[in-house]
Chain A
């Protein structure tokens, strides 16, 4: 029952958008790490993660996302997240992800905020 993620990279100025298709669980680790590495190889200064509004994100997936946040902090990169349902915005706030990543309601808002920051 391992899920896999297709992650498309789109460069918007200094912001690299990682468009994540599929659920985010512990099985997402290799896909997210590879996408983040590819984003860095392409010179990403800032990172925007876009998740599907109906994506299932469990605690294993939260742990994978926190690993990415740790890497962005080490690399002095701003990171934003968009596409989250109201429920997962609440969950991300509960676990403290919002201390390290900004949550945006749309891709456009996120790109504007990250580009300005």
Chain B
């Protein structure tokens, strides 16, 4: 990804679970530069973490030679997060997890990461394909209350 903004940062992560913490810490430091409220910074960290883990596990399918690129762009009161992996996007979106059904039926638990991304971000776009890879893009109004 190429970012053309003075209020932007981009980092590349090894495709290894745990490295999402680096992107989360980076996003928190970035948002603190602009004085955004602490509760929204926590939301931003969760969105970045979940999107990065999805990229590692599902986009890159756990491949050790793959990478995940996370970019953050601040525009007035919003932060746009773009997470790029080397996959082909999401073919089938899981339904929103129904915890009552999961607990009653002892069902396989999936979809909480996507659910949290959608709940915490104001806009989420999946399946943006570029020459460099697949991008999930999320915009968060850092002044909104969730």
Residues of A within 8 A of B (CB): 1-3, 25-27, 56, 58-60, 62-63, 66-67, 69-70, 73, 85-87, 90-91, 94-97, 99-100
Residues of B within 8 A of A (CB): 16-21, 24, 39, 42-43, 46, 49-50, 53, 97-100, 102-103, 106, 109-110, 112-113, 115-116, 119, 146
Interface SS majority for chain B: helix
A81 to chain B, nearest CB (A): 14
Interface SS majority for chain A: helix
Interface centre among A3, A27, A91 (most CB of B within 10 A): A91
Chain A: which residue is nearest B97 at the CB level?
A: A95
Chain A: which residue is nearest B102 at the CB level?
A: A66
Are A59 and B113 CB-contacts (below 8 A) given A66-B103, A97-B99, A99-B100?
yes
A73 to chain B, nearest CB (A): 6
CA distance A63 to B116 in the complex (A): 13
B104 to chain A, nearest CB (A): 8
Interface centre among B18, B39, B43, B100 (most CB of A within 10 A): B18
Are A100 and B18 CB-contacts (below 8 A) given A59-B113, A87-B42?
no
